[in-house]
Amino acid sequence: MKEKKIGKLVLGVLAILVLLGFLFMGYFCADQTCALKPGSPTPGYLHFDVQAYLKGELPAKVFEEKDLERDFQVDLEDGDVIVFHHMQKTGGTTFGRHLVNDLQLKHPCRKVDGRKRYDCQNSDHHVWLFSRYSTGWRCGLHADWTELQECVDREMDAFEGKHRTRRYHYITMLRDPVKRYLSEWMHVRRGATWKTAQLRCNGRQATLQEVPFCYNSSDWYGVTIEEFLACPHNLGNNRQTRMLANLSAVGCYNRSLLPPDVRDKMLLESAKTNLRNMAYFGILEYQPEMQYLFEKTFHLKFGVQFSLFNKTHITKLKMSNKTVEEIVKVNSLDVKLYQYAKELFLQRVNHARRKAAKAQETISQYSNLEKSNIDYIVDSSKQVVPKKEVLSRSEENNDGSSRSGSINDKTERSQSTLDVHVSETVPKKVKGDPDLEPGRFDGSRSEGIDEPRKSNIEPQIDKSEGDQADSRLKSLHQEKSLLTSKPGIDGLHRESRSRQVTGENYDDSELDIDEEDNDDEDEVK
């Protein structure tokens, strides 16, 4: 009898262990290694973000203050140069036009007669913008981060005819990876090839063995979305991650040096680091916020308001959920990067708005202080100082905030470090008050956007500074029915890749080789 009870107990324990094993392997173990349930082949380290993306969610991430603070008082009259890293189908054409047409400067860009170029020079005839419309594709058509790092300074010397010390501020734009991929497919289907892209890394161009063709003639005209997805060498796959990463660190375009999962992880982390360290990046789906953050970052103003067209070629298309899932699968690195970038971008916007509101509050405090009858105050370091000294230091700080060459004197000032606490009594000695926190007048704390949220929910943004930008943070992830149009043409062709273009050989016709004026990426105006 006792033996039967022991036997049942042992069987019960074994059954529990087996059940726990199935639960672990089915739900906790990485999909690509030991999952028993049918599921996405997405690597485990990407699975969470991919699933959140498909659900329209934006998982919260914690960023350091230095990653949120973006305040570059650029001096376009001195040595500052803005370098626009333009990735295909991210809205860069329209943003590039904003840069040359709409910035309010003492010396705005001047269109060159009969050409599609602009002269963007300061009073010393120094170029302050390195971009498609100002200098041309001098580092190659849609040069990536790796190419720009090797090329920009050399090409700027050649363009200006002399060497000088410059301070480069890199900027770029990103786009929802599914919509960007579909936009590229539609463009390629119309016959685009970007055949003059150089794909340089470590001083040499990629070979055809490293980057084989996906087609058999001069272009890929009429390619179906299924064919576009099926080519493993398609440079459209994870394009944003690849073009933002340091390719030198992974052996450039030689994929045989590292295991695929190791290479992918390195590319993704490199892209995130480079994006985070750029002076500025925008996201196509957030036009008003993108403009606001640019203006706060560089203390420059645009003369127009950015907006997004509601109807584009992409929004008119519909595709099956299966096709969309396949697009996400081949762009899983871009999905991860986009989720990271969007959260960082929104937190930067939030940070900039809180900072602007606080700066306005500081200015009001100084204004009230100037009108008051008191002679001494307690500053943020808990020191008693004469009112005149604080006001004088405040004026010096404000005078130094207009070095950018902007003609708009209403640019938000950087917050003064002289935040004060006005005291109606003036004691001979004042000890530090632990209840007075430097930089705060009422002890309140502005809330950030640290909680997980659906991407269609607006982050809590402080608008008390009266900024006119539309703070509508409208997500495009909810459009689960992206795309339905039958391509109708089935031809496969091939081109001979040309990568021998140099900066001196570009002419105006090449400016529009890759993006037509009526292209769907020009949904921004």
Residue 282, both tokens: 């925008």
Q: Which of 407, 406, 413, 408 is nearest to 358 (CA)?
A: 413
H/E stretch holding 183: helix 177-189
Which string of DSSP letters, residue by residue, matches 352-363?
A: HHHHHHHHHHHH
With 0-12 / 13-18 / 19 or more C-beta atoms within 10 angstroms meaning exposed / middle / buried, residue 179 is: buried
Query: Could you tell me which residues come within 8 angstroms of residue 169 by beta carbon, excluding any fewer than 6 positions away?
Result: 72, 74, 80, 81, 82, 83, 279, 280, 298
Please check whether residue 359 is in contact with residue 412, taking contact to mean a CB–CB distance below 8 angstroms.
yes
Give ∠ CA 512-513-515 in degrees, rounded to 5.
60
Per annotation, catalytic residue among 85, 98, 126, 142: 142
Which string of DSSP letters, residue by residue, matches 493-508?
A: ----------GGG--G
CA distances (Å), 470 to each of 73, 97, 374, 458, in order?
24, 21, 41, 12
How far apart are the C-alpha atoms of 44 and 48, rounded to whole Å?
8
159: three-class secondary structure by DSSP: helix
Please check whether residue 213 is in contact with residue 195, taking contact to mean a CB–CB distance below 8 angstroms.
no
CA distances (Å), 420 to each of 69, 370, 397, 439, in order?
22, 12, 15, 7
H/E stretch holding 130: strand 129-130
313 in active site? no
Q: Which residues are catalytic?
A: 142
